[in-house]
Amino acid sequence: MSFPILQNDTFLRACRRQATEYTPMWMMRQAGRYLPEYKATRAQAGSFMGLATNVDFATEVTLQPLARYPLDAAILFSDILTVPDAMGLGLHFVEGEGPRFERTADDEASIGQLHVPDMDKLRYVFDAVTSIRHALQGRVPLIGFSGSPWTLACYMVEGGGSSDYRKVKSLMYARPDLMHQMLAINADTVAVYLNAQIDAGAQAVMVFDSWGGVLADSHFRAFSLQYTARVLAQLKRTGPDGQDVPRIVFTKGGALWLQDMGQLDCEVLGLDWTANLQAARSLVGGAPGTPGKALQGNLDPNVLFASEAVIEQEVQRVLDDFGQPHTDASCVGPTHIFNLGHGISQFTPPEHVAGFVDAVHRLSRQMRGKSM
């Protein structure tokens, strides 16, 4: 499979812990509801799933933020819940309520019916990946993604979002055997799914362990971390162009387990806004010339509702928290990919995002003694 030559590889170099001229950045949920052009395309599609399952629409909305902002990566427009939908749970979106499943997997019978689905059911995702790669024309890399086995299980048991995770935690405590059975199937499905995205052209892949942080300390390793590791162990290391494919793991609320996560077979660890970047760098970032993890994050998304001056101040604070950038091109070292600590809010003013992106690029260049 042939794709256009990549013109801006700053994000990928940072993933590999190579020195960069500035701190690259992208935003979780960057293609989404805060953009008026997204809302217009979604209205044209008729529904969220109409948008996500249409290759042309998915390509269009993935590229929309790049038309506004000089971001350093694109992320596939899709949803983590397309995976359990392909497993037969019947995904739909209720206006004002979010995702819902027609069926749940919450007892021995329903969990016994789960299996790794035929990936042809998700062909629209892989076709979108290939379409986006070509539409990007090599401008920036494309990130593919999936939910983590634990996060998917939360939705599959609860039937949708949850405020207390009562059902999934009750199942975990009462029938840990069933929970492990589900998580193993989820992990193998996620691995096959991400490998298909890599084959289709994804240049990096990210595992969103969005709800790992709701677990008790004693259970995070057994029910979340173990199965994220199982996914990573099965992932392809190179794409169709022969280039390596960095792997990113983001656990919301995961700073407590950062030392354990540092043992994961991945290149990048994403951090939410509760984590201290300096401490994370010391713990898992690795000294120059030694192994370690690149770090991604971690501005509080609500900062983007503040004034331009405050946004710039907070960007500088995050850059300062990470510390002096790695600038030695002769070896690997600690690197930082700027991002939000979670997804951008749908209410964020788009013009505030423009100031945010500019501040990250400008201030991070200044820290390296480089001008725009």
DSSP summary character for residue 346: T
Is 38 within any annotated ligand binding site? no
Cα–Cα distance for residue pair 234/180, rounded to 1 Å: 18
Is 155 within any annotated ligand binding site? yes
Cα–Cα distance for residue pair 167/107, rounded to 1 Å: 11
Q: Which CATH number fits domain 10-367: 3.90.1150.10, 3.30.70.2190, 3.30.70.260, 3.20.20.210?
A: 3.20.20.210
The pTM score is 0.96
Tokens of 125: 């995702």
Is 230 within any annotated ligand binding site? no
Cα–Cα distance for residue pair 231/209, rounded to 1 Å: 12
- Give the DSSP letter string of 145-208: EEE-HHHHHHHHHHSB--SS-HHHHHHHHH-HHHHHHHHHHHHHHHHHHHHHHHHHT-SEEEEE
Is 210 within any annotated ligand binding site? yes
pLDDT in tens, the chain (372 residues): 789 999 999 999 999 999 999 999 999 999 999 999 999 999 999 988 899 999 999 999 999 999 999 999 999 999 999 999 999 999 988 776 678 899 999 999 999 999 999 999 999 999 999 999 999 999 999 999 999 999 999 999 999 888 889 999 999 999 999 999 999 999 999 999 999 999 999 999 999 999 999 999 989 999 999 999 999 999 999 999 999 999 999 999 999 999 999 999 999 999 999 999 999 999 999 999 999 999 999 999 999 999 999 999 999 999 999 999 999 999 999 999 999 999 999 999 999 999 999 999 999 999 999 755
CA dihedral 129, 133, 136, 139 (to 10 degrees): 130
Active site positions, annotated: 29, 33, 42, 79, 155
Residues 47-78 as b or e (16 or more Cβ within 10 Å = b): ebbebbbbbebbbbbbbbbbeebebbbbbbbb
Is 30 within any annotated ligand binding site? yes
Is 124 within any annotated ligand binding site? no
